Amino acid sequence: MKEIYLCSLQELSKKKSIIKWVDEIKDEIIVFYDKENKVKVFSSICPHFGGELIYDNIENNLKCKWHGWKFETLDVTCINNSIRTKAKKIEFQIDPNPIENYKYKVDNDLIYIIL
């Protein structure tokens, strides 16, 4: 088991969210407090096309800055699918891959990813 430091609770409480690249897992991570004041740790890369996910504390969801896809904060399932179209009269739908949901721990007010 490996632990990778992300941020402190004090740092997180001053910001809406923290986004940080983590070399060990080759992923960009978003850390935030949700509406129930629980710490959440996910990949900040949208599975649709690789855009950055930001936390919308008003709607309590993650939103892609590129195409507006929204993901709920419980298990990061997509709650809208903005690409519904037709091509040559064949209907299709793009379903996003899941967003990585990282295990984490809080120890002495510091947040760590657990690998």
Residues sharing a CB contact under 8 Å with residue 81, sequence separation 6 or more, in sequence order: 69, 93, 94, 95, 96
What is this structure's pTM?
A: 0.78
pLDDT average, residue stretch 23-33: 91
pLDDT computed for residue 97 by the predictor: 66
- Confidence check: pLDDT of 41 > 60: yes
Report the pLDDT averaged over residues 86-114: 71
Residues 6+ apart with CB under 8 A from 23: none
Residue ranges of domains in the chain, CATH in brackets: 3-114 (2.102.10.10)
Q: Above 50 in pLDDT, residue 92? A: no
The reported pLDDT for the residue numbered 93 is: 47
